[in-house]
Structure 1
Amino acid sequence: MTKLAVHADRDHATWAASSTARNWNCSGAIALNRRNPAPEVESEAAAWGTACHQLAEKCFKHNRHPDEYIGTVETTKQHKIDVDGEVAETTEMYVDYVRGRIAAYVQEFGEEPIVVHEQPLPLDRLGGPYDAGGTGDTVMYFPRWKLLEVVDLKGGRGLVEAADNKQLRTYGLGSLLANPGLDVEKVKTTIVQPRAPHKDGKIRSDEPHVADLVEWTAELLERMKLAKQADDEFETMAFAAWSAKWLKPGNCKFCPSEGNCPALKQRALDAAHVWFDDLDRPQISNKAIFDTPEQIAADLDMLDMIQDWISARRALAHKMAEGGTEIPNYILVPQQKREKWKDGEEEAVLNILDHSELKPEKYLNPAKLKTPKQVRKALGKKESLVAGLSETPAGGTNLVRADKTTRQAIPSGVNRFFNDESAT
């Protein structure tokens, strides 16, 4: 049995599953966000991920393949996303995984598991101080395996770990509470992240025993109580003292208060070695910074946090300016976008050009060849016809954390130079 809901209709609880890691680390996050409500702003990256989810819903509902929707448009809350090869490929890995799990179970037992897409997973039965929970992209129950599995599609490029992932643990707990009466011994939580290569693969899972999940629930409730204490003390303490006690940067991305959190601002300035002179002008520290490999590594680990804070700070300033606040020395100007044909006028333009003296190649772009992966899949058993005709170009290098990649290390430029010299 398969049930479907709608991804775009998701509501977020006060303690959302997606914010569990943040609230766990920073007890003051909920209190700060409740008093600093974020506007309904959907980033293009978030819209892109939503489009992948919506496309998956269509594939499950109509039993179709993501490639069949290339050239269509997915409309999200604030964006229109063109379904291209990358959107289709991202969706395909998730759809194929879910269908593959169902097929494996059917082949072994001759019966289908229970499958629910976009299932609400509330934690109300825990009796915590906040409404809590999330939504499972796909929840599957395999009776003969005594297994409940929650599958979560991640469309972003930022690596997400599956092991001890607090968002996934919240989903796992929620799936048990949302589906009472099932004979379950294990809860499996699976991340499908097609655009982020990982040493454990693009599909990775955590599989805690039900007893471990129940034990973790006690820790979750303790963290909720701390957040409630921080919420209550917000009204009774001076803000500076409250911030020092309850705000802890570390899981700040996607936090509504990321752009105006005093603790994150100070952490970013400290990490960048910035201080303010008597005229309140920012200065870079003039003391010696020891550029040891260990210090460089520590700084690299901080850069994502600093960049995220900078982006959030810019977004906050833009939101304030859009709301009528004057930012000294800054003005709002129109965005510069690419010129395009007006909606519904392309046919008229084509009719004009078809009757002009221009040759078609002067105003029509040729059809674009699909990606090597898409062509091989279309060829099926005849994929050898294009063997050796594609490549993954090598050029330059990237510096990445060794525990976050599947790529093999290569010699540095200096070592390659000396190795080449010694060979001549």
Structure 2
Amino acid sequence: MTKLAVHADRDHATWAASSTARNWNCSGAIALNRRNPAPEVESDAAAWGTACHQLAEKCFRHNRHPDEYIGTVETTKQHKIDVDEEVAETTEMYVDYVRGRVAAYVQEFGEEPVVVHEQPLPLDRLGGPYDAGGTGDTVMYFPRWKLLEIDDLKGGRGVVEAAGSKQLRTYGLGSLLANRGLDVERVMTVIIQPRASYVLPKDIEFIVQPDGSLLSVDGSIYVSKDRKIRSETLHVADLVEWTAELLERMKLAKQADDEFDTMPFAAWWAKWLKPGNCEFCPSEGNCPALKQKALDAAHVWFDDLDKPQISNNPTFDTPEMIAADLDMLDMIQDWINARRAMAHKLAEAGTTIPNYILVPKEKREIWLPGTEDKVHAAAKSAGLPSEKYTNPAKLKTPKQVRKALGKKESLVAGLSETPAGGTNLVRADKTTRQAIPSGVDRFFNDESEKV
């Protein structure tokens, strides 16, 4: 049996599953956000991810493939997202995974599992201090395996770890509470993240499986061959034990909430705010703790006229100090982006920001809806050849063509490439790409070959 809800209709609890890691790390986050309301603005990235989820819902509902929707538009809360090949490919991996799991179970037992898409997973029964929970993209129950599985599509490029994920464990706990009475021994939480380059954690020992996938020695962590699908499997007893830790963190957040109005603000935020899981936090743009950490990381100090100064101490230019600064730059840039976004929200809401004004975005000119036939007719009447006003059909991506060819994919072997686009400087333990020589080394190597 398959049930469907609507992704865009999701409501967020005060303690949302997606914010569990943040609230766990920063006990004051809920208190600050509750007193720091801001106009709800849907980012481009969030809208893009929502579009993928909505497209998946259509595929499940109508038993269709994501490719069939290329060229259509998904409307989110504040955006219109064109369904292109990247949207379709991201959705495809998630849809194929869910359908594959169902097919494998049917093949083994001749019966279908219970499948629910967009299932609310509240934690009200825990009796915590806040309304808590989330929504499972897909929740599946496999009776013969005594397994409850929660699948989560991630459309972003920032790697999300399945092992120990507090968000996914919150989903797992919520699925147990929302589906009481089922004979469940294990709960498996799965991340499907097509656009991320995943690096295996060094603290987990894996065994290579016959299909190239990886399984941790204790069998709890799975990583697909392409590293795009990752899961953690917990025994119900272990998840229940983790619940006690979750409730303790909720109590700390409630204590921070209660103390907000009884302590000087500077003392309060020094005690309760801890930067580290700030992405997507509504208060990221005006969090005093994050601002201070960003200024400290940039070696910023203020002179007697309260003007910011940046240290030019040459000791900060050693390779070791540069490496330390690079580790902090993402956090600084995130804070800068959040600060700009907050100022934009305030301006949109009517606040005057001195020396700044709102101006319209310049967008690409497009034809008015329903005018395509008139444009064709006008061009033809002017005697224009078709190649002057139309584009030929676009070839699909190499990945899509290989999939369509199936066992005959060798016919296009060697006909595609992933071109190099310069170089990036990244942390060695955060990438699967191989290091290349520096520009200087490449230059001298090239010169030596000419000699």
**TM-score calculated relative to the size of structure 2:** 0.90
Identity of aligned residues (%): 86
Q: Determine the structure 2 residue equivalent to 1:289.
A: 315
Q: Identify which range, 336-345 or 305-314, moves more after superposition.
A: 336-345
Q: Within 2, Cα distance between the matches of 1:415 and 1:13?
A: 54
Cα distance between partner residues in 2 of 1:293 and 1:115 = 53
Higher mean Cα deviation, 83-92 or 332-341?
332-341
* Match in the other structure for 1:334: 360
Residues 145-156 of structure 1 aligned to structure 2 (within 5 Å): 145-156=145-156
**1:420, distance to aligned residue in structure 2 (A):** 4.8
In 2, are the aligned partners of 1:196 and 1:202 still within 8 Å (CA)? yes
Matched residue, 1:58: 58
1:399 aligned partner: 425
Partner residue in 2 for 1:167 = 167
Deviation at 1:278, TM superposition (A): 2.3
Measure how far apart 1:51 and its partner are: 0.5
Structure 1 284/103 Cα, relative in aligned 2: closer, same or farther at 3 Å?
A: same
1:313 is matched with 339
- Whether the 8 Å CA contact 1:52–1:91 is kept in 2: the answer is yes
Matches within 5 A, 1:215-294: 215-294=241-320
1:159, 1:404 within 8 Å by CA — same for their partners in 2? no
Corresponding residue of 2:34:
34
Give, in whole Å, the separation in 2 of the partners of 1:307 and 1:253.
11
The amino acid across from 1:171 in the alignment is Y
Structure 2 vs 1, CA of residues 418 and 169 (structure 1 numbering), >3 Å: closer, same or farther? Answer: same
Q: Establish whether residue 351 from structure 1 lines up as the match of residue 386 from structure 2.
A: no
Deviates more, 1:219-228 or 1:399-408: 399-408
Paired position in structure 2 for 1:116: 116
Unaligned ranges ≥5, structure 2: 201-226
Q: Residues 119-134 of structure 1 correspond to what in structure 2 (within 5 A)? A: 119-134=119-134
| Corresponding residue number in structure 1 for 2:4 | 4
CA distance in 1, matches of 2:237, 2:428: 33
Give the Cα separation in 1 of the matches to 2:405 and 2:92.
17
Residues 150 and 188 in structure 1, CA contact (< 8 A), matched pair in contact too: yes
Q: CA deviation at 1:97?
A: 0.8
Tell me which of 325, 345, 359 is aligned to 1:299. 325
SS at match of 1:148: strand
Return closer, same or farther for 1:278/1:126 CA change in 2, 3 Å cut-off.
same
Match of residue 92 from structure 2: 92
Shift of 1:152: 0.4
Matches within 5 A, 1:197-216: 197-200=197-200, 201-216=227-242
Q: Hey, what's the Cα distance between the residues in 1 that align with 2:317 and 2:432?
A: 28
- Residues 302 and 309 in structure 2, CA contact (< 8 A), matched pair in contact too: yes
1:87 is displaced (CA, Å) by 0.4
SS at match of 1:289: helix
Q: Partners of 1:319 and 1:395 in 2: how far apart? A: 35
Matching residue's letter, 2:341: A
Q: Matched residues in 2 for 1:358 and 1:419: separation?
A: 53
Deviations for 1:227-256, whole angstroms, at most 9, x for unmatched residues?
001111111111111111111111111001
- Aligned partner (choices 389, 393, 396) of residue 367 of structure 1: 393
Please list the CA deviations of residues 25-74 of structure 1 after superposition, one character each: whole Å capped at 9, or x if unmatched. Answer: 11111011111112121111111100100111111111111111111111
Q: Which residue of the partner structure matches residue 210 of structure 2?
A: none
Deviations 1:172-192 (A, max 9, x none): 111111111122221111111
Measure, in 2, the Cα distance between the counterparts of 1:91 and 1:334.
Answer: 32
The alignment yields a C-alpha RMSD, in angstroms, of 1.6
Q: Distance in 2 between matches of 1:14 and 1:196?
A: 28
Q: For the residues of structure 2 that align with 1:372 and 1:30, how far apart are their CA atoms?
A: 46
- Name the structure 1 match of 2:182: 182
Corresponding residue pairs, total: 424
Note if contact 2:7-2:50 (Cα within 8 Å) is conserved in structure 1.
yes
Shift in Å, 1:414: 4.0
Q: Render the CA deviation track for 1:141-168: whole Å, top value 9, x for unaligned.
A: 1112111111100001111111111101
SS in 1 for 2:234: coil
Shift of 1:225: 0.4
CA distance in structure 1 between the aligned counterparts of 2:256 and 2:322, rounded to whole angstroms: 35
**Structure 2 CA distance for aligned equivalents of residues 38 and 351 of structure 1:** 49
| Aligned partner of residue 163 in structure 1, secondary structure | coil
Instruction: Look up the match of 2:25.
Output: 25
Does the 8 Å contact 2:17/2:132 carry over to 1?
Answer: yes
Q: Assess if the C-alpha contact under 8 Å between 2:39 and 2:349 holds in 1.
A: no
Describe the shift of the 1:211–1:401 C-alpha distance in structure 2 as closer, same or farther (beyond 3 A).
Answer: farther
Give unpaired runs (5+ residues) of structure 1. none
Report if aligned partners of 2:41, 2:345 keep a CA contact under 8 Å in 1.
no
